[in-house]
Structure 1
Amino acid sequence: MERRFQRIPLEFPATLLTDGGGGPVRVEDISLKGVLLEGADLPGMADGDEVSVDIPLSEEARITFEGRVRWREGLWLGVEIEAMPLESASHLRRLVELNLGDEALLEREFAALIQAD
């Protein structure tokens, strides 16, 4: 399966929250549609579970979103973004824009994101 969204290496600490609690994780990479987390040692977590993710970028900026577990392998967890506050979406867009360095590619990714819904 071909990826439609560029993954941006991030390597930021984050917090993963579930109905059963939560804990610290590390973001390995992020795209407009999902995030790869490392360190998700949460017992009982399965594909399809709803989670919240909080990624502090700085003291003033953070990316938060509601998502769904799409896969899990050991301490690795793939989470699809389902809902995100506008301010977080702006931070994610800027992060992707800075890392892609190509505004045309960014616009194509946003168009694909809108069509995917």
Structure 2
Amino acid sequence: MKSPKFAFVIVSKRINTRMILDNRGQLENPLPGTVIDDVITLPERYDFFLVSQSINEGTVSPTSFNIIEDSSGLKTDHMQRLAYKLCHMYYNWQGTIRVPAPCMFAHKLAYMTGEITNGPPHHDLVDRLWYL
């Protein structure tokens, strides 16, 4: 029996790194889909930065991807493309989002679970506990 394919990726959006493109002396934000995986990344790590959105004001802030474990067999380029394409898959927004959709879904699920479990139990649950 084959073991399942697996990739453990840490996605960080709250980073201080900013990207600026020098286009013949004119400074611009990089285009959406820009991947930086050389020079500013650590050579001993499997990591990259991804610019998934375009912005109108200010300097774009990329998302950091750090692959801790990868037995998926995907090439580096394919992993980067998958990350960018998953930024288009969030059902609640027409354009791209800053992090891949599975990260947004996990965040939303954790928030909703916290809202429910941190509040008082429903009165039907409390009444049923007395009968047990």
TM-score (normalised: structure 1): 0.30
Structure possessing the higher radius of gyration over alpha carbons: 2
Name the one with the larger strand percent. Answer: 1
